[in-house]
Amino acid sequence: MLLAIDCGNTNTVFSIWDGTRFLCTLRTSTHHARTADAYFTWYSTLVKHYGIEVDITDVIISSTVPRVVFNLRVFADRFFGCRPMVVGKPDCALPVDPRVDPGTNVGPDRLVNTAGAFDRHGGDLIVVDFGTATTFDVVASDGAYVGGVIAPGVNLSLEALHQAAAALPHVDVTKPERVIGTNTVACMQSGVFWGYVGLVNGISERIRDEYGAPMQVIGTGGLAPLFAQGGLLFDVIEDDLTMHGLTVIHAHNKMKG
């Protein structure tokens, strides 16, 4: 029984994998000062609420926030008696090593998305992940991560606009009825929604031209379904791509012993 943990800049997600399916997925805000005991109190309360009886034997962690990894390691050791795999560490092997500039540290979230996408869709992919940042990951024909693009995240852009311009309110991300806004909120919503549709389309097109081969575009992250309404941005939307990628990397390491 595997507990897969994905810690991002905004949210941390726990998913329990029984070898064939995810039994449940739990989400909390990321906080670097949260202790191992606090993680377990939150986790055990929700598992009990859902009526799930599990005996966790393995833990795998992907974290873009280095400061939380120590307490997550303690959490796994203290409450499940296991040493967790941590994506990006030397003792956690990847199915295919990334091919990037020497000395480059690729974010573990991007490595996990690459593994999950290749397992489900093969190679020659662009994975667009709507997180705190909007990232584009290029997956080669053999499953290697070979580079990508990092752009500001949707909510981050909205928050920056609200903070930098005193007259502009905070608005929710939604698809506006019209491109031309007739009030401030509608103008901002149109700029963010259609701006990011253009960003995804434009960057994906340039990646395809540079890559020189047909490529599928895989969308993931909480806002992917919303932006899919803006046109044919994605060939597939995967809501659990990161968690699936963690199970793929875990299985690869188990197979290698």
Catalytic residues: 109
Could you tell me which residues come within 8 angstroms of residue 172 by beta carbon, excluding any fewer than 6 positions away?
189
Q: Please report, for residues 110, 114, 223, 230, 244, the alpha-carbon distance to residue 235 in angstroms, rounded to integers and kept in the order given.
A: 19, 16, 15, 13, 18
SS (H, E, C) the chain: CEEEEEECCCEEEEEEECCCCEEEEEEEECCCCCCHHHHHHHHHHHHHHCCCCCCCCEEEEEECCHHHHHHHHHHHHHHHCCCCEECCCCCCCCCCCCCCCCCCCCCHHHHHHHHHHHHHHCCCEEEEEECCEEEEEEECCCCCEEEEEEEECHHHHHHHHHHHCCCCCCCCCCCCCCCCCCCHHHHHHHHHHHHHHHHHHHHHHHHHHHHCCCCEEEEECCCHHHHHHHCCCCCEECCCHHHHHHHHHHHHHHHHC
Q: Report the C-alpha gap between 41 and 59 in whole angstroms.
A: 17
